[in-house]
């Protein structure tokens, strides 16, 4: 047998043609694939050539960062004035009170660091006991935040909320919004899917009412009408008023995010637990909610991103959040005329947080999409 069969010797594969591999082929395919493609590429390169080099010159190469007053920047108008941001950084991040009392500045730094220590492990996939970390973040952390930043306990001097500002205030408003709106939103979402018609109607009215109104109107309402709602003598300070407005507003959006999760749960889950003889609350707390909340995390994060951006509206009712702080700083006598730098810095800080959160929520969405619906 073996004498008759021919021996096949494998010749090594030929190299693919030179113009179909490597970076050259990539460029040909992705930038100059067709005539239209080539025109688009050339136009974009021209556009970049016009605008990017001057911007880089202004923002980096010619920029000023040394010194501590405006004389450096005024001497070199061709570049951005980052000196201004450097000098005012404490104010922009922590507000007036902590910027003027350097011995107290550990307090905002401490709460930010603690927040980072709690959030970073939450984002990493392999961390054990995430549930407990999240619980600590949502329950114990706010208490620590108030104790350390507001003070008044353990001999920590009180910092008046009227003096809160900068990123610290932005963070506090957004955090309060999410922590208080979450339970409220879950209740509303359950109410909207309830079998009791009156409960359902009330929940729908509440949710649609807040969702239909712009936040700025709600903040006006909170700052003008809240004192009128209560018998005279009951006083709220400005920050608390804004927090109440934001919480009511945010709870409606959280409710819609949670409802999306509730709708995605198979009816059989509820029916099976009913067959086991569980009552409504046990069914909801043990079977339905744990699954629904997990699914709705990405949308909850998305509503949180929107809220984080929207906290900047409190600057219109006179609170000194990050945006207002940088605007004020660039309109102060010392730094008048450096608006662009102020807005760019505030925008950059907002961008980092929002972009980080949205990337995380997209990653999570892909991870949770176990049946690959999106492909």
Partner 1 sequence: MKKTSIPLHRNPKLRSLAVQVSLLFLVFYALFSLYSTTVSNLEDRGIKTSIGFFDEIAPFKVGYSPFLDFKLGETTYIEVFFIGVMNTLLVAILGIIAATFLGFFIGILRTSNNWIASKFALVFVETFRNMPLLLQIMFWNFAIFLAFLPPPKKSIEMGLFYLNSRGLHTPLPVIEDNILSFIWFGIIIATIIGAFIFAKRAKNNFERTGKSVPVFYYSLIAIFGIGFLSFFALGKPLGVEIPVLGKFNFKGGGQLPLPLFSLWFALTVYTSAFIAENVRAGISSISKGQIEAARSIGLSRAQMVRMVILPQALRVVIPPTISQYLNLTKNSSLAIAVGFEEVVAVWANISLNQTGQALIIIAMTIIFYECCSLLTSFILNMYNKRVQIAGR
> Which residues would be at the binding site for partner 1 (CB under 8 A)?
30-31, 33, 37, 40-41, 44-45, 195-199, 202, 208-209, 211-214, 216-217, 220-221, 224-225, 227-232, 305, 309-310, 312-313, 315-316, 323, 327, 339-340, 343-344, 346-347, 350-351, 354-355, 358
Secondary structure (DSSP) of 97-124: HHHH-GGGTHHHHHHHHHHHHHHHHHHS
> In angstroms, what is the minimal distance from the CB of 173 to partner 1?
12
**Which tokens hold the place of 180?**
């208080």
Cα(98)–Cα(106) distance, integer angstroms = 9
> In angstroms, what is the minimal distance from the CB of 185 to partner 1?
18
> In angstroms, what is the minimal distance from the CB of 312 to partner 1?
4
Cα(321)–Cα(314) distance, integer angstroms = 7
Which of 156, 199 has the CB closer to partner 1?
A: 199
Which of 31, 133 has the CB closer to partner 1?
A: 31
> In angstroms, what is the minimal distance from the CB of 327 to partner 1?
7
Instruction: State the alpha helices, DSSP H only, in the chain.
Output: 22-30, 35-56, 70-75, 82-100, 106-123, 130-145, 166-192, 197-212, 215-220, 226-229, 238-264, 267-275, 280-282, 289-310, 322-331, 339-368
> In angstroms, what is the minimal distance from the CB of 157 to partner 1?
32
> In angstroms, what is the minimal distance from the CB of 337 to partner 1?
9
> In angstroms, what is the minimal distance from the CB of 98 to partner 1?
23
Secondary structure (3-state) at 66: coil
Cα(119)–Cα(133) distance, integer angstroms = 8
Which of 211, 282 has the CB closer to partner 1?
A: 211
Which of 106, 209 has the CB closer to partner 1?
A: 209
Which of 86, 211 has the CB closer to partner 1?
A: 211
Secondary structure (DSSP) of 141-195: HHHHHIIIII--STTPPP--GGG--HHHHHHHHHHHHHHHHHHHHHHHHHHHT-S
Which of 42, 60 has the CB closer to partner 1?
A: 42
Judge contact between 306 and 253, C-beta under 8 A: yes
Which of 34, 68 has the CB closer to partner 1?
A: 34
Neighbours of 340 (CB within 10 A): 13
Which of 106, 351 has the CB closer to partner 1?
A: 351
Nearest to 79 by CA among 101, 104, 103, 54: 54
Cα(58)–Cα(78) distance, integer angstroms = 6
Cα(205)–Cα(77) distance, integer angstroms = 55
> In angstroms, what is the minimal distance from the CB of 31 to partner 1?
6
């Amino acid at each position: 047998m073996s004498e008759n069969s021919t021996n096949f010797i494998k010749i090594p594969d030929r190299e693919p043609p030179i113009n179909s591999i490597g970076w050259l082929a990539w460029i040909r395919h992705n930038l100059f694939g067709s005539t239209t493609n080539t025109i688009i590429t050339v136009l974009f390169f021209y556009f970049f050539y016009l605008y990017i080099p001057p911007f880089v010159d202004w923002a980096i190469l010619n920029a000023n960062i040394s010194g501590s007053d405006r004389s450096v920047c005024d001497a070199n108008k061709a570049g951005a004035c980052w000196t201004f941001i450097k000098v005012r950084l404490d104010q922009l991040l922590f507000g007036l009170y902590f910027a003027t009392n350097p011995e107290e500045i550990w307090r905002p730094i401490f709460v930010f660091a603690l927040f980072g220590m709690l959030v970073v492990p939450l984002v990493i996939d392999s961390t054990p006991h995430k549930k407990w970390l999240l619980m600590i973040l949502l329950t114990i952390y706010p208490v620590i935040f108030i104790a350390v930043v507001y003070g008044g306990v353990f001999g920590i001097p009180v910092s008046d909320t009227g003096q809160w500002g900068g990123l610290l205030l932005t963070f506090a408003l957004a955090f309060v919004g999410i922590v208080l709106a979450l339970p409220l939103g879950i209740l509303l979402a359950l109410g909207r899917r309830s079998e009791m018609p009156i409960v359902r109607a009330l929940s729908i009215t509440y949710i649609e009412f807040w969702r239909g109104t712009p936040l700025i109107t709600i903040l006006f309402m909170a700052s003008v009408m809240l004192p009128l709602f209560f018998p005279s003598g009951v006083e709220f300070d400005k920050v608390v008023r804004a927090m109440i407005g934001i919480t009511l507003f945010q709870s409606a959006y959280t409710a819609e995010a949670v409802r999306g999760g509730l709708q995605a749960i198979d009816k059989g889950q509820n029916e099976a637990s009913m067959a086991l003889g569980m009552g409504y609350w046990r069914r909801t707390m043990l079977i339905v909610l744990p699954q629904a909340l997990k699914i709705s995390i990405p949308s909850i994060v998305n509503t949180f991103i929107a809220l984080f951006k929207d906290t900047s509206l409190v600057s219109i009712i006179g609170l000194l959040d990050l945006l207002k702080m940088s605007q004020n700083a660039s309109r102060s006598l010392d730094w008048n005329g450096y608006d662009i730098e102020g807005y760019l810095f505030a925008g950059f800080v907002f961008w980092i947080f929002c972009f980080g959160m949205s990337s995380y929520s997209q990653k999570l969405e892909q991870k949770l999409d176990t049946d690959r619906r999106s492909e």
